[in-house]
Structure 1
Amino acid sequence: MPLTFRKSFRILPGVRLNINKKSWSVTTGGKNGPRHTHSSTGRRTTSMDLPGPFGWRRTTKGR
């Protein structure tokens, strides 16, 4: 099993900096509502938890 590196830091309430081996990203939003993630690779993701075991996610490639 390969080793992976991922670390997440809370910068401000509702803002997180996520770092992994190849890129970094900033996530805004909280648990109750949509979350927006912007990655250094150009990927943008919007996601939201829905009631029950459901979730919603939309990803676009910016570059």
Structure 2
Amino acid sequence: MPLTFRKSFRIWPGVRLNINKKSWSLTFGDGNGPRHTYSSSGRRTTSMDLPGPFGYRHTTRRR
């Protein structure tokens, strides 16, 4: 089983700094609406929890 590293810090209410072995990212938003994540690797993700077993996620990459 490989070892992984992941750490998340709450900077301000609604803002998180996420760090893993290869990159870091900032997440804006709380649980009551969409969340926007911007990664140092160029990935941008918008996600939102919907009622029931549904969720929404849209990811784009910088070219």
TM-score normalised by the chain length of structure 2: 0.98
Query: Which runs of 4 or more aligned residues in structure 1 lie more than 6 Å from their structure 2 counterparts after TM superposition?
Result: none
Q: Which runs of 5 or more structure 2 residues have no equivalent in the other structure?
A: none
CA RMSD of aligned residues (A): 0.5
Identity of aligned residues (%): 83
Structure 2 Cα separation of the partners of residues 36 and 26 of structure 1 = 8
Q: Which runs of 5+ in 1 are unaligned?
A: none
- TM-score normalised by structure 1 residue count: 0.98
Tell me the secondary structure at the aligned position of residue 36 of structure 1.
Answer: strand
